[in-house]
Amino acid sequence: MFDIRRTESGDILMSGRLDASQAEKARAVLRTIEKSCVLDLKHLEYISSLGLGVLLEAQKRLSDAGAGLTLKNLSEHLREVFHLAGFHNVFNIE
Amino acid sequence: MDRAFRREIAALDDVFRSVDEFLSAHGIDARTQLTAKLVVEELFTNFVRHDVGGRDEVALSLATDGDRLIIRLKDFDVDPFDLSEAEPVDIHLPLARRKVGGLGLHLVRNLVDELRYDYDDRVLSVTAIKNLERRDV
């Protein structure tokens, strides 16, 4: 089960398991972002390479427009995966 | 555990369900469970996306051997396809030069302790071994 929605504060909240079967659902929401934004991953349990690709694609698009994504509330597992993917070099991670 | 799954992304829910059952039944810690699921998904989706012919199903087996978790996926009646020759990912490139794809095998290589590729009699077999933390039994 994966869910992605915008909170009242304007952050994007992801929860559940972002696997290959859910990547398009994430992509559809992230494509609507037009300015810098926070992704709250507090309830995201799991992410695989296709999910990472969706995040990277959004970051590249926003960067071209002078904006970017900030990732926050990563679990220990997500931090390890993001680090292995080199995302600490291309995202602002809180 | 030995099971066959339809060669399609939509089969991932079934794959995860079986992996969850096995890992929980064998007392694997939560963090290793997440790692194991990631390895299984990456290898499974790799087989699906690089469909090189073969049967409609992919075989997955999970086993423990002492303090090791052994994950093996097999693709049957396929042409040779050497995953070990996949182009490495440079995670140090600046954002503008980063490619969006290719992270799956990179993650697998870095998350497991041993990764083997075998091809024989038109069967491609990928074996990933993860050393387990010592468990109190």
Which tokens in the block code for residue A34?
């037009």
Of the pLDDT bands very low, low, confident and very high (cuts 50, 70, 90), residue B137 is very low
Per-residue pLDDT tens digits for A27-85:
999 999 999 999 999 999 999 999 999 999 999 999 999 999 999 999 999 999 999 99
d(CA A4, CA A29): 7
Residue range B99-117: mean pLDDT, rounded? 94
d(CA A57, CA B100): 6
The pLDDT value recorded for residue B88 is: 87
Angle between helices B30-49 and B103-111 (to 10 degrees): 140
Whole domain around residue A20: which residue ranges? 2-93
The domain spans of chain B are: 2-131
Please answer whether residues B74 and A71 qualify as being in contact, where contact means their C-beta atoms are separated by less than 8 angstroms: no
Per-residue pLDDT tens digits for A5-37:
999 999 999 999 999 999 999 999 999 999 999
CATH number of the domain encompassing residue A35: 3.30.750.24
The pLDDT value recorded for residue B133 is: 76
- Is residue B122 pLDDT above 70, yes or no? yes
Residue range B64-89: mean pLDDT, rounded? 88
Number of domains comprising chain A: 1
Of B9, B13, B101, nearest to A53 by CB-CB distance is: B101
The ipTM value here is 0.93
Residues of chain B contacting residue A21, judged by C-beta atoms under 8 Å apart: 9-10, 12-13
- Is residue B51 pLDDT above 90, yes or no? no
The pLDDT value recorded for residue B87 is: 82
The pLDDT value recorded for residue B52 is: 65
φ/ψ of residue A56, rounded to 5? -65, -40
Residues of chain A contacting residue B88, judged by C-beta atoms under 8 Å apart: none
The pLDDT value recorded for residue B85 is: 77
The pLDDT value recorded for residue A75 is: 96
Residues of chain B contacting residue A71, judged by C-beta atoms under 8 Å apart: none
CA distance B58 to chain A (A): 16
DSSP A62: H
Whether A92 contacts chain B with CB within 8 A:
no
| Average pLDDT of chain B to the nearest whole number | 91
Q: Would the CB atoms of A60 and B98 count as touching at under 8 Å?
A: yes
Q: Domain B2-131 - what CATH class?
A: alpha beta
Which tokens in the block code for residue A67?
């904006």
Residues of chain A contacting residue B92, judged by C-beta atoms under 8 Å apart: 86, 89
- Is residue B18 pLDDT above 60, yes or no? yes
